[in-house]
Amino acid sequence: MLIVSALLHEAGHLLALAALGARTLSIRLGLNGICISYHTGGLRPIGECAALAAGPAVNAVAAVVSIAVYDRSGSGAALTLAGVNAVLCVFNLLPALPLDGGKLLGVFCDRLAGERAAEAVLFLSGMGMSSTLLFLAWRLAKRGILNPFLLTAGVFFALQCCQGRKSDVK
């Protein structure tokens, strides 16, 4: 179900990019998920934000539709699909690169205060996210609960911050 939800998410981005006239350069699968590189072709920041928000928006709609299916049918699969889509939506809106929320934050900050300020805000936001996840992992470990997801995600966001604002958006 995670694969279906991830594909829906990326389809949302691709449909929005096509509707806005941006040209998709490549789609690749990496350690940080599916990455779509595109040429904006003069796309304004509001259009870029719309394309970035389209993936989480599709997940939100899929979650609502899945809940409606669950209400009518009582299907456990529909409820699971709703949960997966809701988590993907919220997670992808977190303000840290390479997530959609981090890219949205970068576009807003770049537009409002310039590229250097955007890089600083993204660094601080990403390190804040990393620190929070690592702190939660440490607190759980102190109670005897090991959570490799929190630890891995915390390290991942810290490494993303060290790379700087190298966005795939051209």
Same domain assignment for residues 43 and 86: yes
**pLDDT tens column, 27-86:** 888 766 777 877 777 788 899 999 999 999 999 999 999 999 999 999 999 999 999 999
Same domain assignment for residues 88 and 100: no
Same domain assignment for residues 75 and 57: yes
Average pLDDT over all residues of the chain: 89
Same domain assignment for residues 84 and 149: no
Same domain assignment for residues 84 and 5: yes
Same domain assignment for residues 124 and 144: yes
Same domain assignment for residues 31 and 12: yes
Q: What is the DSSP string of the chain?
A: -HHHHHHHHHHHHHHHHHHHTPEEEEEEEETTEEEEEEE-SS--HHHHHHHHHHHHHHHHHHHHHHHHHHHHH--HHHHHHHHHHHHHHHHHTSSSTTSHHHHHHHHHHHHHH-HHHHHHHHHHHHHHHHHHHHHHHHHHHHTT---HHHHHHHHHHHHHHHH-S--SB-
Domain of residue 134 covers 95-170
Q: How many domains does the chain have?
A: 2
pTM of the model: 0.83
Same domain assignment for residues 80 and 161: no
